[in-house]
Amino acid sequence: MDRHVSRRQVVRVAVVGTGVFVAGRYFTGRVAAAPPPLEQKDSYVVGFPQIVEDNPWRIAQSQSMRDEAAARGHELIYSVANNSEATQIANVRQLIAQQVDFIFLPPLSEEPLARAVLDAKAAGIPVLCVDRDVSHDIATPGEDYLGFIGSDFYQEGARAAAWLAQTMNGEAQIIQLEGTAGSSPAMDRGRGFADYLKGTYTPNPYNREGSATPVAATSGGFPGMEIVASQDGDFNRDKGREVFEALYDANPNANAVYGHNDEMALGAINALEARGKVPGTDVILVSIDGNRDALQSIVDGKLGASVECNPRFGPASFDILERYAAGEEIPTIIINPDRFFDASNAAEFVDEAY
């Protein structure tokens, strides 16, 4: 079961007006079990404190948010945290000081940024987590913030595992290149992949809008599919290459790679070729995102497959803002549909990819 659904719901004394942190809990005098309201008006000042701009996914996400704000006549206050939690928290606090109307937050990691969500609520600013979520042990969706719009990372991991298990006929020595530690995608893509191979994967019972087709659960799993090494490559191509090189040196019999994103898998492909190995033959690779370089790599027979993680959901995010201002009930989890790219279809989509 995915963390977001199974996680214990904690009744929160929520945050209106000034409040204090006590033992990591945020307390205040009055209770408001709903996010701050958003008045209906023609134009909003919205904050978008982006994590980093070091990969195509991030760049595409930022462009989608900018384009949609401009198309709808809203002012987007944009910042980049260069992969620093402290900087992203400071950027959120700057938006609070600027009294923006609304914040679209792509939280670098779940726990530290959850407290920034509580700060925004204390200042009367509604927050929607886009792309990644914050810890529900600290901030409660539907109460402290609107909720989360993004992909079902747990399912993405399972879909990657399903493809790899089938492609490898249930026998592989797998090197896993993990995403940024503490981030929703890294945690859930890792769990989804592992659970599917163990045979314990159960699709999330989300109240979904626009959901992808859940992957069937397996029974018995795939005992011949072994993760021999796993390490954080920070979703970055160069870091992913460095991590892969070290893990491959230590595990020369590895014949498969699972990258939590395309960039790290592409870094591993560069490393394999530098060693005279043939990616797609000597080592089979699967990853997540569906960026253009990944689709081209699939066309070239190097990357095996990529589970889409759509970064272009500026329109859907601004729809939620406007629905919320209009007084609509907003689901706390809205899942973007993800396609699946492999040798059968990558060529068809490479031109439209980011």
Q: Which residues bind ligand GZL (CB under 6 A)?
A: 55, 57-58, 131-132, 150-151, 185, 235, 261, 263, 288-289, 309
Q: Which H, E and C letters describe 189-228, residue by residue? A: HHHHHHHHHHCCCCCCCCCCCCCCCCCCCCCCCCCCEEEE
| Nearest-approach distance from CB 132 to ligand GZL, in angstroms | 5
DSSP state of 261: S
**What tokens were used for 263?**
């960039």
Q: C-beta of 58: minimal distance to ligand GZL in Å?
A: 6
Place of tokens 């913030």: 145
Tell me the closest approach of the beta carbon of residue 97 to ligand GZL, in angstroms.
26
Nearer to ligand GZL, 57 or 324 (CB): 57
**239 close to 261: Cβ distance less than 8 angstroms:** no
CB of 249 to ligand GZL, least distance (A): 25
Please, what is the minimum distance in Å from the beta carbon of residue 56 to ligand GZL?
A: 8
Residue entry with tokens 């980093």: 52
Q: Which is nearer to ligand GZL, 133 or 144 (CB)?
A: 133
Longest dimension (CA), the chain: 65
For residue 257, count other CB atoms closer than 10 A to its CB: 30
Contact 280/302 with Cβ under 8 angstroms? yes
Task: Report the alpha-carbon distance of residue 83 to residue 32 in Å, rounded.
Answer: 32
Whichever of 15 and 320 has its CB closer to ligand GZL, that residue is 320
Nearer to ligand GZL, 140 or 306 (CB): 306
Nearer to ligand GZL, 285 or 309 (CB): 309
d(CA 231, CA 247): 8
Q: Are 246 and 189 in contact (CB under 8 A)?
A: no
Q: Which is nearer to ligand GZL, 2 or 289 (CB)?
A: 289
Cα gap 76→31, rounded to integer Å: 30
When the beta carbons of 15 and 295 are compared against ligand GZL, the nearer one is 295
Q: How far is the CB of 158 from ligand GZL (least distance, A)?
A: 15
Pairing of strands 127-130, 102-105: parallel
Q: How far is CA 281 from CA 53, 149, 269, 303, in A?
A: 32, 37, 11, 10
Q: Residue 298 CB, nearest distance to ligand GZL (Å)?
A: 16
- CB of residue 43 vs ligand GZL: minimum separation in angstroms? 28
Residue 19 or 179 with smaller CB distance to ligand GZL: 179
* CB-nearer residue toward ligand GZL: 261 or 317: 261
Looking at the Cβ atoms of 153 and 222, the one nearer to ligand GZL is 153
The closest alpha carbon to 260, from 159, 120, 336, belongs to 159
Shortest spacing between CB 106 and ligand GZL, in angstroms: 7
Report phi then psi at 285, rounded to 5. Answer: -120, 140
Q: Which residues lie across from 103 on neighbouring strands?
A: 47, 127
Q: Minimum distance between the CB of residue 102 and ligand GZL, rounded to whole angstroms?
A: 20
What phi and psi values does residue 120 have, to the nearest 5 degrees?
-65, -40
Q: Which residues of 276-300 are buried (b: 16+ CB within 10 A; e: fewer)?
A: eeebbeebbbbbbbbbbbbbbbbee
